[in-house]
Amino acid sequence: MPLPLKRWFILAFVFASIAISFSIAVAAVDWQVIKVNGHDYLTVDNISKFYGMPAEVVPSGAKIQGETANHPLEFVSGSREAVINGARSWLCFPVLEYDGKSLVSRTDVAKTIEPLVRPHRVPNVGKVQTVVLDPGHGGYDKGQVSRYGAEKDFALDVARKLRPILQAKGFKVVMTREGDYFVPLEVRAKIANSAHNSIFVSIHFNATNDDPNATGFEIFSFTPRGAPSTSDSAVNANSAYMQPGSSVDAQSMALSACIYHSLLGQLREYDRGIKRARFAVLRLTKVPAVLIEGGFLTERGESKLISSKDWRAKFAGAIGVGIESYQELPVNKQPPMLVADYRRQAKSAPVDPVSQDGNANDAEGNLKQAGANAKQAGANVKEAGANVKEELGVNVKEADASLLELVGRSALLPQPPQPQKSTPAKTSLESAPIIP
């Protein structure tokens, strides 16, 4: 029986209303692409309206800190530096001033801003059963060395502390190394690629010869196709643009955001930002992958902190929370907790026995102890390294059985013995030659 005419009118009206409001919604999100020298850009104003997030462009040369940023989207004129939701985030291309407007490259809107602002909308995001933990370096490759110990030992200790945390959250955990031996970078990537629904988290500590005062956290994911890495100063060098990207770079960026906000929100460290690099382990992994640099072994205060067991436990815990936050993205269907959320939570929570003061005291104690040791033994780095090794119980020679299953025993053996002096520098190791 046909519907009465009146009811048809009502239905038509309802459909028309839906159609009108839908077209308004679509109109509001229209991207107005502006071509400059053949490249596509979008105005900051357009981006701000699209996401419904207030934005600001500060003058070139201005310094912006995440915690003092006035808006959720902060850009610096002529710079690749931005602060997105309270964390420094590096664009692939600088913000361009053109015809009275501030422009952001289309690549950055798609590859940087979108996965950072709406990580929960990245396709296949948060699918993770296995977390592949990759403690950097190992064996003859010590990584960076401070007076308190070596990067390889600190990184392994963080991974060991993180494994039970993740297992308690229901993740399967595979470590690329269980002890003090070197695992080739391609094998580390192979381990991640062989695991089912895996993500890859590489743990490192930083160093620089340029600035003894350099401090802070940074996190890397693979540079998208057609873009330069964050450290590439020659932004106009076209050669970098044609490097292949990764089919999972949006997921990797979402993982970066989840872990980085947790780290910054829970440990008071300088914010160096969410960056892009073509490090070998990021290039060779085919699954969402990040590389964390957990502070500088070349800076006095920070190297003390890193030498503290309690601090490393807190650092591992924050990575664990970040990974869980990544897994929850498709469940919660909303952005992850941000720096400000973590800090608010910490303020309202009861006092944590592992406070920053406690760490400082602990680190101070370690420093005194190390100093005494050095005096007594007349040794410094070697001695401290040995102490740390002993403390961490780094004596495992055999790789994890599950790991061997994944990649085969032959992949891990044999290790070429390397003379100490030829230990590759960090930069050459982590940014091994790019194969186009």
Contact residues for Zn ion, defined by CB under 5 A = 136, 143, 204
In the complex, what is the shortest distance from the CB of residue 430 to Zn ion, in angstroms, rounded to a whole number?
6
In the complex, what is the shortest distance from the CB of residue 220 to Zn ion, in angstroms, rounded to a whole number?
11
Burial classification of residue 247, based on how many CB atoms lie within 10 Å of its CB (0-12 exposed, 13-18 middle, 19 or more buried)? exposed
Q: How far is CA 30 from CA 24, 39, 260, in A?
A: 10, 18, 31
- Smaller CB distance to Zn ion: residue 204 or 314? 204
Residue nearest to Zn ion (CB): 204
Contacts of 256 (CB under 8 A, 6+ apart): 219, 220, 221, 274, 290
In the complex, what is the shortest distance from the CB of residue 143 to Zn ion, in angstroms, rounded to a whole number?
4
Q: How many CB atoms lie within 10 A of CB 6?
A: 8
- Smaller CB distance to Zn ion: residue 159 or 250? 159
In the complex, what is the shortest distance from the CB of residue 380 to Zn ion, in angstroms, rounded to a whole number?
21
- Smaller CB distance to Zn ion: residue 270 or 296? 296
Q: Omega of the bond prior to 414 within 30 degrees of 0, cis?
A: yes
Contacts of 122 (CB under 8 A, 6+ apart): 114, 115, 250, 251, 253, 254, 329
- Smaller CB distance to Zn ion: residue 207 or 406? 207
In the complex, what is the shortest distance from the CB of residue 144 to Zn ion, in angstroms, rounded to a whole number?
6
Residue 335 DSSP code: P
- Smaller CB distance to Zn ion: residue 160 or 204? 204
In the complex, what is the shortest distance from the CB of residue 299 to Zn ion, in angstroms, rounded to a whole number?
15
Q: What are the structure tokens assigned to 90, written together? A: 């590096």
Query: What is the enclosing helix (H) or strand (E) of 356?
Result: helix 356-377
Q: How far is CA 16 from CA 23, 94, 160, 412, in A?
A: 10, 43, 60, 65
- Smaller CB distance to Zn ion: residue 165 or 281? 281
Query: Contact 116/257 with Cβ under 8 angstroms?
Result: yes
CA-CA distance, 55 to 98, in Å (whole number)? Answer: 17
In the complex, what is the shortest distance from the CB of residue 203 to Zn ion, in angstroms, rounded to a whole number?
9
CA-CA distance, 345 to 431, in Å (whole number)? Answer: 37
- Smaller CB distance to Zn ion: residue 66 or 136? 136
In the complex, what is the shortest distance from the CB of residue 384 to Zn ion, in angstroms, rounded to a whole number?
18
- Smaller CB distance to Zn ion: residue 143 or 216? 143
